[in-house]
Amino acid sequence: MSHYKSKWIKLIAEENPNATAPLPAIHIVKSNKKRIRYNPKKEIMRKIITITSICVMGIMAARAQDHAVLAQDTMTVYRKKIDKLDKEIIHLLGDRMQAARTIGAYKVKHKVAVVQPDRFNKVLQQAVIEGEKVGLSADFVKKLYEDVHTESVRQEEELKQKAITQRKD
Ligand SMILES: C=C(O[C@@H]1C=C(C(=O)O)C=C[C@H]1O)C(=O)O
């Protein structure tokens, strides 16, 4: 009787010692003192469904994990890129301010006004055109350049004030 792998078949076989395999498709079997209907075909289907469900869940979990790892990798890669670009932006702004300070020193020496609206309008126009080429809105570029201009004027004024103070001393 050991060739009956399923516990149900074993149970049936024990209850029907004279039965010859294969046993009839549907039996009433005793389990925990209760009598239940047993259909071997249904049991096989149930097993197939259970195994398939476990496999599908496993595949889905593995895929979800892959997506999470990929998203994490993408974030790490692009955040590193942003950090590098931000550093370059700050260094470029520093170089730009240095150029503005040099112009500022020239203006002090030759008594030229710090704020040059015509020049700034040209700078602004050029920046808007360049920005459009790389997907930056005119509004954003204008706001950014207003701030940059304010800072270069502040730094030029600072130089001018220092020069005036030095002349007095
Ligand atoms: C740097 C200058 O000084 C000021 C600052 C400007 C700028 O930051 O682009 C432009 C014009 C000026 O108002 C300059 O005259 O070129």
**Distance from the alpha carbon of residue 97 to the mean position of ligand 1, in angstroms:** 10
Average pLDDT over every residue of 139-151: 98
CB 40 within 8 A of CB 29: no
User: What's the pLDDT score for residue 23?
Assistant: 58
User: What's the pLDDT score for residue 15?
Assistant: 72
Tens digits of residue pLDDT in 108-138:
999 999 999 999 999 999 999 999 999 999 9
Ramachandran sector of residue 30 (left: φ over 0; alpha: ψ -120 to 50; beta: rest): beta
User: What's the pLDDT score for residue 35?
Assistant: 66
- Residue 115 CB–ligand 1 contact under 6 Å: yes
Per-chain mean pLDDT for the chain: 88
Tens digits of residue pLDDT in 21-35:
665 566 666 666 666
CATH of domain 43-168: 1.20.59.10
Protein residue with least CA distance to atom 1, ligand 1: 100
Protein residue with least CA distance to atom 2, ligand 1: 100
**Distance from the alpha carbon of residue 109 to the mean position of ligand 1, in angstroms:** 16
User: What's the pLDDT score for residue 2?
Assistant: 47
Model confidence at 5, in pLDDT bands (50, 70, 90)? low
| 4 pLDDT above the threshold of 90 | no
Which amino acid is located at 59 in the chain?
Answer: I
Average pLDDT over every residue of 54-79: 94
| 147 pLDDT above the threshold of 70 | yes
Radius of gyration of the chain from Cα atoms?
41
Protein residue with least CA distance to atom 15, ligand 1: 116
**Distance from the alpha carbon of residue 56 to the mean position of ligand 1, in angstroms:** 65
Domain extents in the chain: 7-38, 43-168
- Residue 108 CB–ligand 1 contact under 6 Å: no
- Lowest pLDDT segment from 14-18, 39-43, 66-70, 73-77: 14-18
100 vs 138: CA distance, rounded Å: 23
